A and B are shown apart, each in its own frame.
Chain A
Amino acid sequence: MASDASTKPKKGLLTSLANALASFELSVSILTFLMIVTLFGTLAQVDHGLYAAQKMYFESWFVSQPLGPLALPLPGGQLLMAALAVNLFFGGLFRIRKNKRTAGIIVVHIGIVVLLVSSLVKHRFSEDGRLTLYEGESGAEFIHYHDWEVAIHEVGPTENVKEWLIADEDIEVLRGDLERKVNSPDLPMELTLRGFVDNAKVVQAREGMRTALPVVDGYTVVPQDRNTANELNVAAIYVSILDRATGSIQDGILWGQDNYPLVVEAGGKEWAIRLRHERFEMPFGIELVDFQKEDHARMSMAASYSSDVLLIEGEERTPVHIRMNEPLRHKGMILFQSGWGPQDAAPGTPLFSTFSVVRNPSDQWPLISCIIIGVGMLIAFAMRLMGFVGKQMRARREETQGQGA
Chain B
Amino acid sequence: MRGTTMRRDSIRRLFSASLLLALSVGAAGAQDAAQGEADPHAGHDHAAGDHSDHDHNHPFRDFAYSDEMLELAGSLPVQDGGRVKPLSTVAGFKLLKTNGKRTLRVGDDAPEGKLDPTAWMLDAMLFPAHSDHYEVFRVDNSDVLTAIGVETKDSRRGWYSYEDLAPGRGALGQKAQAAFNKEQKDRELLDNQFMALWSCLVDYERVTDTLSFTRVQLPLRSAPAVAEIYPEERPGLSAALEQFPALRTAFGDLGPDTASEDREALVGLVNALDGQMTRARGGMGFFAPSVSKEEQPEWMDVGQVIELTFSQADEVEGLVPVLAEFEAVEQAKLDPAGFTAALKTLHGSLKSRAEARGEYAKIPMERSFYAMDYFYRALQLFGVAFLFCALGWMLPRAGWISAAIWVPALLAEGLLITGIVMRCILRSRPPVSTLYETILFIAGTGVLVALVTEWITRKRMALNVAVIMGMLGMFLAGKYEFREAVSAGDTMPSLVAVLDTNFWLATHVTSITLGYAAGLLASAMGHAWLVMWALGKKRSNPKLMRDVKNMMYGVLCFALLFSVVGTILGGVWANDSWGRFWGWDPKENGALLICLSQLAILHARLGGLLKDLGLVLATIFGGMIVAFSWWHVNLLGVGLHSYGFTDGVLGNLMLFYFIETIVIGVALVSSVIGQLGGKPATS
Taking Cβ atoms with an 8 Å cutoff, the residues of A that contact B are: 1-2, 5, 23-25, 27-28, 31-32, 34-35, 38-39, 41-43, 45-46, 49-50, 53-54, 58, 115, 118-119, 122, 128, 228, 292-299, 301-305, 324-327, 334, 336, 338, 347-348, 356-358, 360, 363, 366-367, 369-370, 373-374, 377-378, 380-381, 384-385, 388-389, 392, 396
Contact = CB atoms under 8 A, between A and B. Distances in A.
A298 B285 contact: yes
A297 B80 CA distance: 8
Interface string B581-595: 111111001101100
Contact of B607 (A28, A119, A228, A295): A28
B470 to A, nearest CB: 23
B157 to A, nearest CB: 32
Interface string B279-314: 000000100000000000111000000000000000
Given A24-B603, A128-B580, 9 more contacts: A27-B603, A28-B603, A39-B589, A39-B593, A42-B593, A293-B1, A325-B498, A338-B579, A373-B564
A136 to B, nearest CB: 16
Interface of A is mostly: helix
6 contacts: A2-B607, A54-B584, A297-B285, A324-B500, A325-B501, A347-B5
A301 B82 contact: yes
A389 B456 contact: yes
A115 B576 CA distance: 17
Ordered nearest first, which 4 A-B pairs have the shortest CB separation? A24-B607, A296-B82, A31-B600, A370-B568
Interface of B: 1-2, 5-6, 9, 79-83, 285, 297-299, 456-458, 494, 496-498, 500-501, 504, 550, 554, 557-558, 560-561, 564-565, 568-569, 571-573, 575-586, 589-590, 592-593, 596-597, 599-600, 603-604, 606-609, 625, 633, 636-639
B597 A24 contact: no
A297 B298 contact: yes
B427 to A, nearest CB: 13
Nearest to B10: A347
Nearest to A355: B579
A338 B497 CA distance: 11
A295 B585 CA distance: 26
Given A5-B606, A303-B494, A325 B504 contact: yes
A338 B457 CA distance: 51
B609 A366 contact: no
Given A54-B584, A325-B576, A384-B554, A303 B596 contact: no
Contacts of A41: 584, 589
Most A CB atoms within 10 A — which of B500, B554, B579?
Answer: B579
A380 B456 CA distance: 19
Given A2-B606, A35-B597, A305-B497, A42 B82 contact: no
Contact of B581 (A122, A299, A327, A381): A122
Nearest to B284: A298
B2 A292 contact: yes
Given A295-B1, A325-B501, A377-B565, A50 B581 contact: no
A184 B496 CA distance: 51
B607 A381 contact: no
A327 B597 contact: no
B638 A49 contact: yes
A327 B579 CA distance: 9
A307 B532 CA distance: 61
Contacts of A356: 578-579
A327 B578 CA distance: 9
